[in-house]
């Protein structure tokens, strides 16, 4: 826990927020199994071009126009979001050639960060070195901020966490 979180009297939180991170890949035509094999990470969800989209075990009334693969990396309550991302960049750096190929083929890879403020005033800093390391791996940083909930807020935190983990935020649109 950071000193700011301790000073704010928020036990177990990093600077008054929670987060969850997923690695998401979109590609115009590749089969998602390619990413599973190359990364050695099990997918938490996939879309195959030309097949019905499936989310959380439900078949949706839409056909996938692009391939989609995601893996939930989660969070570490002892690390702020920047430190967690830096560790994941180090973990993924041996796969630089895969991410370069995805970008060259018209695809996109990103860290999807679901950000859940637990205090009115909270934040974090992504250093130029971290941003450069993500850029060198062709990894975008996509943030969905789920809003501060007061003690009397009506949002169900469990529902929001599930939606963020599944990558169901505003960034789920088309390729760049």
Domain boundaries, the chain: 3-165
pLDDT band at residue 148 using 50, 70 and 90 as cut-offs = low
The DSSP code for 130 is H
Q: What is the mean pLDDT of residues 3-13?
A: 38
- With a cut of 60, say whether residue 108 has pLDDT above it: yes
- With a cut of 70, say whether residue 82 has pLDDT above it: yes
Residues 151-167 have pLDDT tens digits of: 555 555 555 555 555 55
Task: Report the DSSP pairing between strands 139-145 and 108-117.
Answer: parallel
For residue 38, the model assigns a pLDDT of: 98
d(CA 148, CA 156): 12
CB 175 within 8 A of CB 26: yes
Q: Whole-model pTM?
A: 0.77
Residues 22-60 have pLDDT tens digits of: 999 999 999 999 999 999 999 999 999 999 998 888 899
Determine the 3-state secondary structure of 12 from DSSP.
coil
d(CA 55, CA 75): 21
Radius of gyration of the chain (CA): 17
For residue 40, the model assigns a pLDDT of: 98
Q: Provide the β-strand partners of residue 69.
A: 25, 46
How high is the mean pLDDT of the chain?
Answer: 82
What percent of the chain has pLDDT above 90?
Answer: 59
């Amino acid at each position: 826990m950071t000193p700011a979180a301790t000073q704010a009297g928020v036990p177990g939180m990093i600077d008054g927020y929670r987060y969850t991170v997923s690695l998401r890949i979109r590609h115009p035509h590749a089969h998602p199994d390619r990413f599973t094999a190359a990364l050695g990470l099990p997918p938490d969800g996939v879309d195959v071009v030309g097949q019905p989209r499936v989310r959380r075990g439900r078949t949706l009334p839409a056909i996938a126009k692009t391939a989609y693969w995601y893996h939930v990396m989660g969070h570490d309550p002892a690390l702020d979001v920047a430190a967690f991302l830096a560790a994941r960049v180090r973990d993924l750096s041996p796969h630089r050639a895969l991410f370069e190929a995805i970008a060259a083929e018209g695809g996109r890879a990103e860290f999807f960060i679901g950000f859940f403020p637990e205090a009115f005033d909270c934040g974090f800093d992504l250093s130029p070195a971290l941003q450069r390391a993500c850029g060198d791996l062709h990894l975008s940083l996509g943030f969905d901020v789920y809003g501060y909930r007061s003690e009397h807020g009506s949002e169900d935190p469990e529902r929001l966490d599930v939606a963020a983990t599944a990558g169901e935020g505003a960034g789920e649109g088309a390729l760049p």
